[in-house]
Amino acid sequence: MRIQIMRTNDRPLTDLMRAVDSGTAQLPDFQRGWVWDDGRIKALILSVIRNFPVGAAMFLEYGNASINFKHRPIEGSNANPDIEPTELILDGQQRLTSLYNALYSKNPVHTRTDSGKEIDRYYYLNIEKAIDPNADDEDIVISVPEIKKLTADFGRIIDLDLSTRQDEFKNKMFPLNIILNFIEEQVWQNEYYAYYNNDHDVFSQFTDFFAKIIQTTQRYAMPVILLDRETPKEAVCKVFENVNTGGVSLTVFELVTAIFATDNFPLRQDWDERKERYFSGDLLNIITATDFLTALTLLASFKAGGSVSCKKKDVLALQLTEYKKYADELCEGFNIAAKLLQEERIFSSRDLPYSTQLIPLAAICTVLMEGNEIHKSTVKNMVKQWYWCGVFGELYGSSNETRYANDIIQVIKWITEGGALPKTVTDFFFNPTRLLGLQTRQSAAYKGFMALILKNHARDFISGAEMDFAAYASEKIDIHHIFPKDYCIKQNYDKSKWNSIVNKTPISARTNRILGGNAPSVYLGKIEREGSAESSDLDAYAETHWIEHNMLRNNEFQDFIIDRAKKLLVAVEQATGRTIAGKDSEEVRKAFGDFLN
C-alpha cells in the first residue's frame, strides 16, 4: 500500500505571517541566509497586491521520525528561538522572509541594493498610483530609509518625508507593514479620513484602494505543499531538489548539517576548517562537502564489515559518531590520494580526469594506510593500475555509487588477499578509434593522455626542462598542437586527426608562441637558429613526447599520426596493464589510414 506523504492546500498569507511571527513555522538549520535585494522585494509586493501567483511553499511537519533537524526562526521574526515549531520551511524561505519583513514586521527591512550595498528600508504604497492602471511599477511601491525620508544633495534637500503619520497622510502613502493587520489598518484609515476632513473625493479614492489593494492582499493565499512527518530523509532531499528552482539548492550536506546540529555539532564550521587545511590546494580544491560525506560514508560502511553502500540514503543515515571517528583519517587519505596522482603527473583539478574517482581513491588510500601498505610500491602500482583503467575505460562519467562500493571491496581484496581483478579493471575497454574522438579537455581520457606524456619525463622544446610540478606551475604548461592548427588548415589535413589528442602534447606557453602557425620543420629550425637548443637535443626532447623527430622535421603528417597513435596506445596498455584489442581492425584502418598494431 502506498502511503501519502504529501498534501497541498492554499493558506492565507495572514496565517503564514502569523506562523512565522509566533515561531510555529521556522527554518531548518541547513537553510542559508536571506539574500533578496530591494528590487526583488518590490517586485514580490507588486505580485501579491495584484493577486498574481508567486509560487508554492514547501513545509515539513516537525517531529519527523527519521529526521531531527535543528531549527531557527526566519530572519526578522520576533519568535523565541527556543520555541519548538510545528512545521519547517523547506522551500519558500526568500519569499516568506521578504513578505514577513515588508508586510508584517514593524522593523525596517534589512536588505541591499542591486549593487550589494546593505540598506534598511520601509515599504509604502502610493495610493493614487496603486489604483491607476497606467501607472509605472516603480511609482507604486516605494521604499524609504529607516528615517523615512528620501533626500537629495547629500541630505540637504528632502524629496519625500514620511517620518510622521501626518506626513504619510499628506503624501497619500500607505505603510505596507500594517496591511495584514485589520485593526491597525482600520485605525490608519479612520485617521486618514479625519486628516482630510472626510473629503468625499479622498473617501471615494481610498474606498477604491481598499477594495482593489488592501482586501486583495488580506485575502491573498499561497499554495503550500506539506510533507508528512513520516517522510523518509532521502525523499525530503529529492522532493526539495525537484521543486527548488531558485535560491540556494539543497544538498545532502545541508541536510546532514541540520541533523548533526541537533547534537550541537557544527558540521559546516568543521568542513570549512577541513576545506582550508586539506582541500585548498590546486588538486583537491574540487572536492565538495558532499563528496567528502560520500567518501566518509563509503569508508564507514566498509569498516563496519557489512553491506557497503554510499548512496544518498546512506549518507543521510550517517551517524555523528562515524563522522568523528573517520573524518581525520579520511582527510589524510585524500592527501595520500593527491600525492599519488601527482606522481602520475596530475597536478591540478583542471587536469583531473574524474573528480568523482577521487571518492573511492581516497577511501581506498585510507584503508591502505593501516600498516603503511599504501606506501609500498607494489601496492601503489596496483592502485594506479585500477585508477588508469577507470580513466581510459571512461567509467566514472555517470552515477557511480555502486561502482564506488565495488571498488573499495574489490581493490582492497585484490591487494591484501590476492583476490580477483576489480570490476573497474575488467570493465576497461578502449577502442583505438577513440583517439580521434578526443578533441577537447572535457574528456577524462584526453586529460589522462596529458598526464601519461608528462609522466614520460616530457621536456620543453626550448629549455629542455622536464615538465615536473615546478615547471607545470611556473611555465603555464598546457596541451597544444604539434602540427600547428593554422598550418594544418592550410594543408587541408583532416581535422579529426590534427585536432585530436594524437597531434597534441604538453607545451609551455612561451614555447607555443615560438611554434606559431608554422610547419614543424620551420619552427624547429627557428629554435635552433636562435640558439635555444642544439639539433640533437631538440630531437631528444621531441622523443620524450612520443614524437618521432624525423617525421617532425620532414613534415610527414600522416606517418606521424600513425606512429604517435601506436605509441599512445602502448602507453595506455602499460598504465592499465590491459591489452587493447582491435588495433588491426578494418575500422581502425579506415579511420587512421593504416593499422595500429
C-alpha cell at 316: 543521510
303-356 tens-digit pLDDT: 999 999 999 889 988 999 999 999 999 999 999 999 999 999 999 999 999 999
Quote the CA–CA distance of 356 and 501 in Å, as a whole number.
23
Range picked from 31-35, 104-108, 240-244, 249-253 for highest mean pLDDT: 104-108
> Counting beta carbons within 10 angstroms of the beta carbon of residue 303, is it exposed (0 to 12), middle (13 to 18) or buried (19 or more)?
middle
pLDDT at 2: 40
Distances (CA, A) of 183 to 180, 189, 190: 9, 10, 11
153-165 tens-digit pLDDT: 777 899 999 999 9
Q: Please state the rounded mean pLDDT for residues 210-237.
A: 86
Quote the CA–CA distance of 369 and 366 in Å, as a whole number.
5
pLDDT at 356: 95
Whether 508 has a pLDDT exceeding 70, the answer reads: yes
pLDDT at 391: 98
Q: Please state the rounded mean pLDDT for residues 190-216.
A: 96
* Cβ neighbours for 357, distance < 8 A, ≥ 6 positions apart: 387, 390, 391, 396
Give the model's confidence band at 71: pLDDT under 50 very low, under 70 low, under 90 confident, else very high: confident
Average pLDDT across the chain, whole number: 91
- % of residues, the chain, pLDDT over 70: 93
Q: Are strands 25-28 and 87-91 parallel, antiparallel or unpaired?
A: parallel
Whether 248 has a pLDDT exceeding 60, the answer reads: no
Radius of gyration of the chain (CA): 33
Alpha helices, DSSP H only, in 468-519? 469-474, 485-490, 495-498, 509-515
Q: Give the residue from 70, 65, 63, 79 showing the smallest Cα distance to 24.
A: 79
Quote the CA–CA distance of 513 and 31 in Å, as a whole number.
49
Quote the CA–CA distance of 494 and 510 in Å, as a whole number.
27
532-541 tens-digit pLDDT: 889 999 999 9
Quote the CA–CA distance of 250 and 312 in Å, as a whole number.
13
Give the model's confidence band at 188: pLDDT under 50 very low, under 70 low, under 90 confident, else very high: very high
Whether 484 has a pLDDT exceeding 60, the answer reads: yes
- % of residues, the chain, pLDDT over 90: 74
When mean pLDDT is compared across 81-85, 100-104, 333-337, the lowest value belongs to 81-85
Give the model's confidence band at 526: pLDDT under 50 very low, under 70 low, under 90 confident, else very high: very high
Backbone angles phi, psi at 25, to 5 degrees: -115, 120
pLDDT at 68: 66
> In which residue are the cell numbers 510533507 written?
227
Q: Please state the rounded mean pLDDT for residues 543-570.
A: 97
Angle (CA) 253-256-257 rounded to 5° is 80
> In which residue are the cell numbers 511599477 written?
137
Amino acid, res. 435: L
Quote the CA–CA distance of 111 and 122 in Å, as a whole number.
10
Quote the CA–CA distance of 363 and 447 in Å, as a whole number.
23
Alpha helices, DSSP H only, in 305-376? 312-316, 320-343, 358-367
Q: Give the residue from 500, 474, 472 showing the smallest Cα distance to 560.
A: 500
Give the model's confidence band at 513: pLDDT under 50 very low, under 70 low, under 90 confident, else very high: confident
Ramachandran assignment for 82, one of left (phi > 0), alpha (psi -120 to 50 degrees), beta (any other): alpha
Domain coordinates in residue numbering, the chain = 252-426, 434-592
Give the model's confidence band at 241: pLDDT under 50 very low, under 70 low, under 90 confident, else very high: low
Is there a contact between 458 and 450 (Cβ–Cβ < 8 Å)? no
Quote the CA–CA distance of 452 and 256 in Å, as a whole number.
39
More confident residue, 239 or 318: 318
Q: Give the residue from 311, 401, 388 showing the smallest Cα distance to 354.
A: 388
